[in-house]
Structure 1
Amino acid sequence: MKSGGCDVAIIGNHVEQTEYDRLKAAGIPLKALKISGTARVHDKLIAISAKKAGTTSWAYRVYTGSHNFSPGSLTGGDDLFVRLGEESGTSHPMYDAVLAHFNDGWKSPYAVTLTGAN
């Protein structure tokens, strides 16, 4: 998505070195929220706003669930990954709420920029 011109940023709890290297090479900024040296994020949220294929209309979508972004959770576990209904037009309250939540974390005094695997 980043190579296609999308803005991508991640707040993560744990990032393996291989994945950190891939994200860093793609120019994707990574932060963690740490209180007393311990990572404290447990959200599993994705907020996407994009033009719908073949149109000039924007769509807003939120994904969430109990999954982790790991092979075990994505293929071997009984975790949930939910795509909420598309929001379009000028009103997209779910997307706006998730984006505001992300921005609160990103700008938090507890947010630290990751410079390697954590």
Structure 2
Amino acid sequence: MATILTIGLHPNAIDYTRYPGLDEATLTARIEQGDAALRAAGFDAVSCLIGTDPDAAERTIRERLSEGTFELAMIGGGVRMAPEHTLLFERLINVLVATAPGIRFCFNTSPETTVDALRRWV
């Protein structure tokens, strides 16, 4: 089975004023449940939670990529779907392509849809 790198915003990096009804504790629990669902589904997934600073996020991704070979990267909706994170998303894509040639991408819309996103490509 492919080794998968799951990338998402760390719950402490999010401005929750934009998301009524969501807070850090709730999102943390949802991410943990999503990770448990990945394990239960038999995926070999490595979680990589990042902040919103593109330079720091790129360093974090490079560090994680140095730990092994990843065939698939799942980039979470928090990174992709907020306009203020466009530069961050762009940087992540470019560092992944440059550092892990041939890597494929999939995208979820929430922690709960990660398993379905991975199944589309694995």
Using the size of structure 2 for normalisation, the TM-score is: 0.30
Using the size of structure 1 for normalisation, the TM-score is: 0.31
- Higher relative helix content: 2
Larger Rg: 1
- Higher relative strand content: 1
Q: Which has the higher relative contact order, 1 or 2, with Cα contacts under 8 A spaced 6 or more apart?
A: 2
